[in-house]
Amino acid sequence: MDGENTRRMDRLEAVLRAAHAGRDIPVPDRAMVASVLAEIKAAPPAEPANGVLWRMAAGAGFLAAAMVLFALVFGSGFEEEIGRALFYDPNGQVLVSMLGV
């Protein structure tokens, strides 16, 4: 893209921003609009950047659903079992912290 097309895109963007803000705009030049549209069509399409975030959110939702299902299957006392697994020593001594603090 050369400098002239960049200036045309900037002018068209300024016109579109003014129209969006509700201000009076001058009539855009047809050649300017056509060249900007041709430049946009010639540019390669951008990859979606949020695909990873959707997969992470789906994984977190699946994990939450699995935890709820686990709690429903094994009944009450789920919190006690998790607490016992994390903070209770098999020798019968209660651990103060997993980090040793």
pLDDT tens column, 74-99: 766 666 766 666 666 666 555 555 55
CB within 8 A of 26, min separation 6: which ones? 15
**Residue of 40, 32, 31 lying closest to 11 (CA atoms):** 32
Position 62 scores a pLDDT of 93
Is 1 strand, coil or helix? coil
- Per-residue pLDDT, 101: 46
Tens of pLDDT, residue by residue, the chain (101 residues): 566 767 777 877 887 888 888 888 777 778 877 877 887 788 787 776 677 788 888 999 999 999 888 877 776 666 676 666 666 666 655 555 555 54
φ/ψ (deg, to 5) at 41: -70, -30
CA dist 13 to 21, 50, 88, 100, Å? 12, 25, 63, 59
Pairwise CA distance, residues 28 & 33, whole Å: 7
Q: Which of 1, 69, 47, 80 is CA-nearest to residue 9?
A: 1
